[in-house]
Structure 1
Amino acid sequence: MTIADQEQAGPRTTPRAAATHDEPAAPRVPYGFFHPRVVATRRLSPTLVRVVLGCDELSAVVSGGRDQRFKLFLPQPGQDAPVLPEVLDLDWYPRWRELDPAVRGIMRTYTIRAVRQDPPEIDVDFALHGDLGPASRWARRAAPGDTVSILAPVVHDNGGVEFQLPQDARWALLAADETALPAVAGILGSLPVGLPVRVWIEVAHPDDRVDLPTRADAEITWLVRPCSPVAESVAAAELPGPAGTGYAWIAGEASHVRALRRHLVGERGLDRRRVSFTGYWRRGTTEDDLLEAAVAAAAAD
């Protein structure tokens, strides 16, 4: 579930012809297009729904764990399946943008919650916000047999994982809203035994406080709206250790993410290189708008 910039949107390598003795082999493209169907859905809480996607070709999908992102493509109204670029290489994203916006598959970024091989399936957890966007509308109505497409990793080291705990980290901080809850769950499940970690999660409903298993020494604070912003709660809290030994991961609404990052770096003294942050969404803006803005900014550089 992340707002994509162009780095997030596409693979970093492109396939080439087989290498000769004068030319080294090219790196493997770390992602592939897949075309699964909905296998099942399950309501996890008032706001969260899990959609299980499955098909034989998903046996090639792997995950780097933690907050592993992927691209979900939904069909336009009246289509049986989303329209995608015909070729997968480094230029697939520009080709997708060149397609008619009224025809091309609707692209959104989400977190892989789980991958299974027998049978080949992946779980995707959606935070529902009524009918405010095409992905939320689709997830609310998803039923077995519905067709989607995804761009998903086929190697573990695929560049789609933001949470990178430094080897010398002695504590961690996580802050998020419900849109990043699947990523928080994956991160907590990956942490080493006994690592002190403070977690703040803002949700829409008291029953959105789902179970988050972890081997870490985690203290989880749930903030149910209406509530004070996460940044205020973090500012009033004592961190688990000295700034130089910690690592922070922040995700959610873009303005809240920026405010909390400024606090952690400016007032708490965390090295900015030890703060990973992602605006999963921006109030009043769609992912399509953000993608266009990112492309325009890149072109202006």
Structure 2
Amino acid sequence: MNPTGLLEVTAVRRPTPRTVRVTFTGSGLDSLEAWPDQQLKLLFPPPGRPVRLPSADDDVMRWYQAYLAIPEDERPVMRSYTVRSRDRGTIDVEFVLHASADGPATTWARTAAHGDVLGRYGPDIAYRRPVPKADTVLLAGDETALPAIATLLSEVDNALVFVEVPDAAEEQLLPVRWLHRDGAPHGTKLLEAVRGASLGPGVAAWLAGEAGMVRSLRRHLVGERGLAKDVIEFTGYWRRALTQDDAPTSEDLADAREKLGG
């Protein structure tokens, strides 16, 4: 499958007040292999401009260099998302409308309509991660982790799942234990629930969502529960007060080294 292409919006729905689910069609999607937690890059054009794509190349580094070579006023903004579902040449992607900020992706999603066009890079099978295997698989995340958790649940039948969302209106039809922030600081309800959970022996974990929240969960599981680091899959999808364009913090770099085994 060509890693680069255009995506056209065919449908827009609101499964919850703060979630926009967009259905895309595009060349190559009909041959897309499915796997859980399938991530891709979406390319959002500057206002009033069409999407300008880098030259297609299977090598991600050469592709990224071509992306950076696009003049800044024409270069699309790139953000990472997870495929929520796919069906006969289409994919669904969910956008969380964060109340605190309107970045380029949130701004686009608020007014997304049939016929709108974005660019994409991926999904690339080189980034496929193994599904955790253990007697009990702990899945924990915030609302941004829901698309990945939904796909993982199709492969894992022994999961203990905690998802923190702003309030009851953000629940979706998934077999998870919902935790409502209801004004509490982000991540506190999720950390309390995981700390109070009876996990038993033979546990693997998958964690995703706000980076600081994920970091606190990992520290609990490793430092207090004694889980080995290599049985925990983790991803910080976003950072409070920072965007993907901001430089990584020292903790971000430490997380990246650990994921690479350093």
For the criterion TM > 0.5, the same-fold answer is yes
The residue matched to 1:283 in structure 2 has which SS? coil
Q: Deviations over 1:24-56 (max 9, x none)?
A: xxxxxx751121210010000011111000135
Q: Which residue of 1 aligns with 2:223?
A: 266
Partner-residue secondary structure (3-state), 2:122: strand
Task: Tell whether the 8 Å contact from 1:47 to 1:204 is kept in structure 2 after alignment.
Answer: no
Cα drift, residue 61 of structure 1: 2.4
Is the CA contact (8 Å cut-off) linking 1:36 and 1:58 kept in structure 2?
no
Query: Which protein is bigger by CA-based radius of gyration?
Result: 1
Aligned residues: 249
Which one-letter code corresponds to 2:239 in the other structure?
R
Answer whether contact 1:229 1:256 (CA < 8 A) is retained. no
Unaligned ranges ≥5, structure 1:
1-29, 214-218
The alignment status of 1:71 with 2:38, answered yes or no, reads no
Q: Paired residue for 2:139?
A: 174
Which of residues 124, 138, 141 in structure 1 aligns to 2:108?
138
Partner of 1:232: 192
Question: Unaligned stretches of 5+ in structure 2?
Answer: none
From the superposition, tell whether residues 226 and 31 of structure 1 become closer, same or farther in structure 2 (CA, over 3 Å).
farther
3-state SS, counterpart of residue 117 of structure 2: coil
Identity %: 39
Give distance in 1, aligned partners of 2:217 and 2:28: 41
Q: Which whole-Å CA distance do the structure 2 matches of 1:36 and 1:272 have between them?
A: 37
Supply the AA of the counterpart residue of 1:152.
G
Question: SS at the partner of 1:249?
Answer: strand
Give TM-score, length-normalised by structure 1.
Answer: 0.76
Which letter does structure 2 place at the counterpart of 1:67? D
Moved over 4 A (4+): 290-295
SS of equivalent residue, structure 2 residue 246: helix
Which of 3, 6, 9 is residue 38 of structure 1 equivalent to? 9
Deviation at 1:290, TM superposition (A): 4.6
Distance apart, 1:289 and its partner CA = 1.5
Q: CA RMSD in A?
A: 2.5
Amino acid at match of 2:221: L
Contact 2:211 2:238 in 1 (8 A): yes
Question: Which of 70, 82, 86 pairs up with 1:111?
Answer: 82
Aligned with 2:54: secondary structure? coil
- Structure 2 length as normaliser, TM-score? 0.86
Structure 2: distance between partners of 1:290 and 1:234:
30
Query: Are 1:124 and 2:93 an aligned pair?
Result: yes
Superposed CA deviations along residues 190-229 of structure 1, whole A, max 9, x for unmatched, are 213xx2x22211112311111115xxxxx62423332334
